[in-house]
Amino acid sequence: MIYSEQNSLSAHKRGSIEVICGSMFSGKTEELIRRLKRAQFAKQSVEIFKPKIDTRYSDDEVVSHDRNSIRSTPVESSGSILLMSNDVDVIGIDEAQFFDEGLVEVCNRLADQGIRVIVAGLDMDYKGIPFGPMPALCAIAEDVYKVHAICVRCGSLAYVSHRLVASDKRVLLGETQEYEPICRTCFAKVNQK
C-alpha cells in the first residue's frame, strides 16, 4: 500500500517557482541558462521567454553578458506566456522586471499545472527601489537565489545597478556604458552628491 502511494506521488508532476535575482552583471542570465540547459540535457521539454523590448544581444535568444545563449521567444506581455506553454516541463523567463504585474499570476498558474518555472530578473531598479513583479515573485517562489556582482568602486558585494547616464526613465536598456554594479556604501556616497 505504501509503495503504490509513493509511486503515484512520484508520477505526479510537481510544479515550482525559482527566482534568480540581483544587480546587473551578477550572473542572473548565466544561471538561468545553466539551469535550462541542464533541463534540456535531462530530456525535459523546455520553453524560454523574454520581453520583446530586450533586443540588446539578440531578437530571439536569451544572451548573457558572457555571450552564452539559448533560444527564446520574445513576448509582449505575461499573458502570452500562458498561451505558448503547452506540453512543457520547464519554463524559463528572463528579464522578468520588464514584464507586467500579471507575471505573478502566470507563474503561479504554470506552477499549479506542474511546470517548473525559472525566473531571472533585477530585484531593484537604478534608484534601489524593488522592480516590477520581482518582489511578488520572490515572495511566492519556493526558491530564491540572489546572485551578486562585485562593486566596481571598492570590491564589496554589489547592491544595486547604478545608472551612469542622465535619464529619469525607469526602463533604460543598457550595459557597462550605462550602468555599473556598486555596493550599498558606494551607492549612498553617489547619492549624497
Q: Active-site residue numbers?
A: 95
Q: Which residue type does 46 have?
A: V
Count the Cβ atoms, other than its own, within 10 Å of residue 90: 21
Strand 46-51 vs strand 143-146: parallel, antiparallel, or unpaired? unpaired
Q: Which residue type does 25 have?
A: F
Centroid of chain to Cα 148: 14
Residue ranges in 57-113 assigned as alpha helix (H): 78-83, 103-112
What values do phi and psi take at 169, rounded to 5? -65, 130
Going from the C-alpha of 103 to that of each of 40, 123, 156, the distances in angstroms are: 24, 14, 32
Interior angle at CA 129, CA 128 and CA 131, nearest 5: 115
